[in-house]
Structure 1
């Protein structure tokens, strides 16, 4: 198995690649605009942080009764 900055940090801790926009949205990182380097962003982050963030957004969808197609926006600070 190959390791590097996208699979392990400098201390050997596991990483996962996270995407923006969220994969759970219609504007997700899986929808690539051909011939554009600005279609989406992905960055390796700590595995635990990625899994915690995924759980938080899933809980938010449920808590707010978000349905497929509901619009929302995200503010990043």
Structure 2
């Protein structure tokens, strides 16, 4: 299943498309900032982490240097467990 890459899709909208909802929640609660993600060049395994259901995805998500591993995502969730039940 191929996904078209739409640069016009905003980064926030792209993050909201995450199948892993807790990561969006962390982002929205400012536990994980976009700048931190970019500075650390967090790796994202798009196929495993995201469920686009045919929607377009933006260049940000497609870009290798911006790509999150599930492991990193789960680590972030466990650090946030005390403040958020997801």
TM-score, normalisation: structure 1: 0.30
TM-score w.r.t. the length of structure 2 is 0.28
Which has the greater radius of gyration? 1
Q: Which has the higher contact order (CA 8 A, sep 6+)?
A: 2
| Greater helix proportion | 2
